[in-house]
């Protein structure tokens, strides 16, 4: 069984082992695969594992040996799942492997914005505290989260984990979700519309999937519906927000801050207006990349392959 990993570096830059997958076949791991390299790398594969290189209908037609596609992520929009189904090829993803890590990043961004620990650490490396006449100083607003309203858009695994962290901080949690109030329990308040959530919450964190209905969910209109001084967090998908509109709102100071681990295009354009917008806190899509989460992804990938080879495929997204 010939197993090809098209872009293994992101998952495993060298600190993990491919052993669990290697024992199932003849494994070749490419660190990256460009469009020009795709057919050379994928030729003869029985099993293809991919994160970012697209597997389109056209590409599937030129891979006659292919029997299985594993997506090294939860989202699977890089694969034409319907074309794969027509070829009798199961497409399997890796669900819920990074829930805790992504929820942690959401709050890392929130705390960066409200407490500015990195800002003060850097200032003090330059001697500012040592030169200060008083025992302490602060030159940014410092915000206590307890008692603030946290709005969560999308209450799947990661949204729920983020809600639990917010509750532990003493925040009042509101959610815009398809789940019923009974499913949420008494601690989380279900909002009837996105507009009511945006109008009342001090922090809004996005955890919904990217669909045609949610693309640019946050735009000039919805930004204008937000409570003045709101903090917006996006650890879900970059295209959930219109970055030009967010940058505009930051420059106008109607949006207090934007913390994001994802961008509309990745790697992002050097011309993105967010680079120059005040209070834009941008990290390079690393919420999923804790060693623990990547090891979990690797383990689930191996489990998926075992299940497929045993004739009982799991985590299929194109049944």
| 8 A C-beta contact, residue 157 and residue 212 | no
At a CB cut-off of 8 Å and minimum separation 6, what does 83 contact?
56, 57, 60
Active-site residue, selected from the candidate residues 237, 243, 294, 296: 237
**d(C-alpha 173, C-alpha 306), whole Å:** 40
CA count, 13 A, side-chain hemisphere, 291? 5
In the residue annotation, 237 being an active-site residue is answered as: yes
**d(C-alpha 307, C-alpha 315), whole Å:** 10
Active-site residue, selected from the candidate residues 19, 37, 266, 292: 266
**d(C-alpha 130, C-alpha 140), whole Å:** 18
CA count, 13 A, side-chain hemisphere, 80? 12
Find the farthest-apart pair of alpha carbons in the chain and give their distance in angstroms, rounded. Answer: 74
**d(C-alpha 235, C-alpha 154), whole Å:** 12
Active-site residue, selected from the candidate residues 41, 116, 207, 285: 285
Catalytic residue IDs: 237, 266, 285
């Amino acid at each position: 069984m010939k197993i090809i990993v098209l872009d293994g570096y992101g998952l495993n830059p060298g600190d993990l082992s491919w052993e669990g997958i290697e024992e199932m076949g003849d494994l070749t791991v490419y660190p990256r695969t460009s469009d020009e390299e795709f057919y050379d790398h994928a030729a003869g594969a029985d099993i293809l594992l991919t994160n970012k290189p697209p597997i389109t209908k056209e590409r599937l037609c030129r891979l006659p040996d292919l029997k299985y596609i594993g997506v090294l992520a939860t989202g699977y929009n890089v694969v034409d799942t319907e074309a794969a189904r027509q070829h009798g090829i199961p497409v399997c993803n890796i669900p819920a492997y990074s829930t805790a890590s992504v929820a942690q990043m959401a709050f890392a961004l929130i705390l960066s914005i409200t407490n500015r620990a990195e800002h003060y650490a850097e200032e003090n490396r330059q001697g500012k505290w040592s030169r200060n006449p008083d025992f302490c100083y602060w030159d940014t607003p410092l915000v206590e989260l307890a008692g603030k309203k946290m709005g969560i858009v999308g209450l799947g695994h990661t949204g729920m984990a983020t809600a639990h962290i917010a509750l532990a901080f003493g925040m009042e949690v509101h959610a815009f979700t398809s789940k019923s109030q009974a499913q949420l329990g008494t601690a989380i308040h279900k909002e009837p519309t996105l507009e009511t959530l945006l109008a009342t919450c001090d922090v809004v964190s996005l955890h919904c999937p990217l669909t045609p209905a949610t693309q640019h969910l946050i735009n000039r209109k919805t930004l204008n519906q937000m409570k003045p001084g709101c903090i917006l967090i996006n650890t879900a998908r970059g295209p959930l927000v219109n970055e030009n509109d967010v940058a505009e709102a930051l420059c106008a100071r109607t949006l207090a801050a934007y913390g994001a681990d994802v961008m509309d295009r990745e790697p992002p354009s050097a011309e993105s207006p967010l680079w120059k917008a005040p209070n834009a806190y941008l990290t390079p899509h690393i919420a999923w990349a804790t060693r623990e989460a990547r090891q979990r992804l690797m383990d689930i990938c191996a489990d998926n392959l075992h299940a497929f080879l045993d004739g009982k495929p799991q985590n299929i997204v194109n049944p």
